A = this chain, B = another copy of it.
Amino acid sequence: MDIAELRDRILKQDRRALARAITLVESGRADHRAQAAELLEELRGSGREALRIGLSGTPGVGKSTFIESFGMFLTAQGKRVAVLAVDPSSTRSGGSILGDKTRMERLSRDKNAFIRPSPSQTHLGGVARRTREAVALCEAAGFDVVLIETVGVGQSETVVAEMSDLFVLLLAPAGGDELQGVKRGIMEIADLILVNKADGDLKATATRTCADYAGALRLLRKRAQDPDDFPKAMTVSALEEQGLSDAWGEMGALSDWRHENGHWDKRRRAQAQFWFLEEVKQGVLAQLDSGDAKAQIAELATKVAGQAITPSAAADKVLKALDIRKR
């Protein structure tokens, strides 16, 4: 299939073509990368825009169940939903999140849903680029909502937040009044905290946990891109499919507010620039591994190891000798 045909079929919402295009952007082969770039350039002007929702949650929080319930809720509203995953650890752990679609059996059979497992890839930079491109493809294929799931290892939440319009943090009910081991920084990027498992024996605990987080959120500095009552904490039960409509209502309210106040567009522009700069940086660092730079670095690295020169003095030597210039 050539790129023009792939483009046309994606625009016609052909899921097979979409899957194939994602495989293309996931490939590391140079010819595939060139084709992927061409395809993305062709689709850039599609004018279609999805709501990109970043989603993170600690293990055991019931993330798969939530995605399935929330996804089914959305498709029942007539929305088309794509689910992507960012898991920099997938190679190491020997499998990928979402790899086992049986975890979301109903959703994966829904013709208005599209689930794509995380590619096996250790380098977070590579995962980020491919996921961003997959998001762009899903948008061009007319999906209304793109859920980007992350396991929350290392920097992956920050990466997902940088490609999402909204960021949702899913938490489990916690005994006692102590906040769970939520990483610093994650509270600050969350737009909505959902305390899952607000059902059966855990319902009261979930309500209490939610109040604790609501309190903690009030302590955070207000962000300019938020209406007064955000970020917000709510309870849901993915199992009993409770609270999903309210959660979706809040996402819509926040999204509308940001559109009306210009923050939506500003954020997308800033994100595009962020990723542009990230790719330039990664590319420049890769150049250190070739040509003049590589030889000089290798030579000095040996001296550094032998304590013949300090690391800083050796680095200064390299930096004085090399320069980034026009080809």
Contacts and interface: CB of A to CB of B under 8 A. Distances in A.
A318 B313 CA distance: 29
A281 B285 contact: yes
A184 B58 CA distance: 12
Contacts of A272: 304-305, 307, 311
Contacts of A245: none
Contacts of A184: 153-154
A190 B133 CA distance: 38
Interface string A130-152: 00110010000000000000000
A200 to B, nearest CB: 21
Interface residues of A, number: 59
B280 A318 contact: yes
A195 B314 CA distance: 40
Given A181-B180, A269-B305, A312-B40, A281 B277 contact: no
- Of the listed residues A182, A272, A320, A321, the one surrounded by the most CB atoms of chain B closer than 10 A to its CB is A272
A324 interface: yes
Contact of A312 (B37, B183, B304): B37
A285 B283 contact: no
B276 A300 contact: yes
Given A276-B300, A276-B301, A311-B275, A322 B325 contact: yes
Contacts of A111: none
B284 A319 contact: yes
Contacts of A315: 276, 279-280, 283
A14 interface: no
A44 interface: yes
B153 A287 contact: no
Given A41-B313, A323-B327, A324-B322, A288 B281 contact: yes
A273 interface: yes
Contacts of A40: 310, 312-313
A136 B310 CA distance: 10
Contact of A324 (B44, B293, B300, B313): B293
A28 interface: no
Interface in A284-300: 284-285, 287-288, 291-293, 297, 300
B292 A326 contact: yes
A5 interface: no
* Interchain residue pairs A-B with the least CB separation, the first 4: A181-B181, A279-B315, A276-B311, A269-B305
Interface of A: 37, 40-41, 44, 129, 132-133, 136, 153-154, 180-185, 269-270, 272-273, 275-277, 279-281, 283-285, 287-288, 291-293, 297, 300-301, 304-307, 309-316, 318-327
